[in-house]
Homo-oligomer: A and B are copies of this chain.
Amino acid sequence: MLDAAKACCERWGIEKVTVDDIAAAAGVSRATLYRLFPGGKDVLFDALRVRDIEEFFTRLTAGVAGADTLSELLVRTVVVATTDLRGDDHLAIMLASEPGDTLGQLTVQGLPRIIRMASLFLAPLVEPYVGRGDSSRLVELLSRLVISYFLAPSDHVDLGDAESARQFISTYILPAFEFTSGTSLIAASPTGAL
């Protein structure tokens, strides 16, 4: 079921997926889907690991998972990603996910909440790179970061373990930003340190 929901998201995008799509892809009726999940959004939340990433950022802010090292890595990742924001099918999902838009309850209730949470945490760290008050770009970058997380394989990652979380970022998040020239972009960042 979750794999089917994830496949639907990758195929049609989060904002276009319907409960009927997921049920059909999973080969079950809509009645069965509602027997397994409280609502349609819950299927997507589980499939896209929305609650996992919430916990991910929560633990980062609490310093449980080696926040200093990981946050620096996240900031560097965000800055590197500034080079090119185009060509990402899933980016627009996040960019448009503000209350009052036409994306429906999922994005209104779920994803922007995550972005807000992450923004509060990363804003002071990113500020030296993108400038104060440039929140729109920060939201874009965080969106891409979050989506990278969503699209990663659903293998178990112990987000409470610093090494496991760091390995996860190196494996799934950094490649998603499609480095075009190895470490050259990293070297172009303000501090130059990693």
Give A residues with C-beta under 8 Å from B.
11-13, 16, 20, 89, 102
- A12 touching B16, Cβ below 8 Å: yes
Q: Tell me how far the C-beta of A102 lies from the nearest C-beta in chain B, rounded to whole angstroms.
A: 7
Instruction: Identify the closest chain B residue to A10 (Cβ).
Output: B89
Q: Tell me how far the C-beta of A17 lies from the nearest C-beta in chain B, rounded to whole angstroms.
A: 9
Q: Tell me how far the C-beta of A18 lies from the nearest C-beta in chain B, rounded to whole angstroms.
A: 9
Identical copies in the complex: 2
A11 — which chain B residues lie within 8 A by C-beta? 13, 89
Q: Tell me how far the C-beta of A189 lies from the nearest C-beta in chain B, rounded to whole angstroms.
A: 31
Q: Could you tell me the distance between the alpha carbons of A102 and B23 in the complex, rounded to whole angstroms?
A: 15
- Chain A contact residues: helix, strand, loop or mixed: helix
- CB-CB nearest 4 A-B residue pairs: A16-B16, A12-B16, A12-B13, A12-B12
Q: Could you tell me the distance between the alpha carbons of A16 and B12 in the complex, rounded to whole angstroms?
A: 8
- A102 touching B12, Cβ below 8 Å: no
Q: Could you tell me the distance between the alpha carbons of A11 and B11 in the complex, rounded to whole angstroms?
A: 8
A12 — which chain B residues lie within 8 A by C-beta? 12-13, 16
Q: Tell me how far the C-beta of A119 lies from the nearest C-beta in chain B, rounded to whole angstroms.
A: 24
Which one of A11, A13, A16, A20 has the highest number of Cβ atoms from chain B below 10 Å of its Cβ?
Answer: A16
Q: Could you tell me the distance between the alpha carbons of A13 and B89 in the complex, rounded to whole angstroms?
A: 12
Q: Could you tell me the distance between the alpha carbons of A13 and B11 in the complex, rounded to whole angstroms?
A: 8
A20 — which chain B residues lie within 8 A by C-beta? 102
A102 — which chain B residues lie within 8 A by C-beta? 20
Q: Could you tell me the distance between the alpha carbons of A13 and B154 in the complex, rounded to whole angstroms?
A: 25
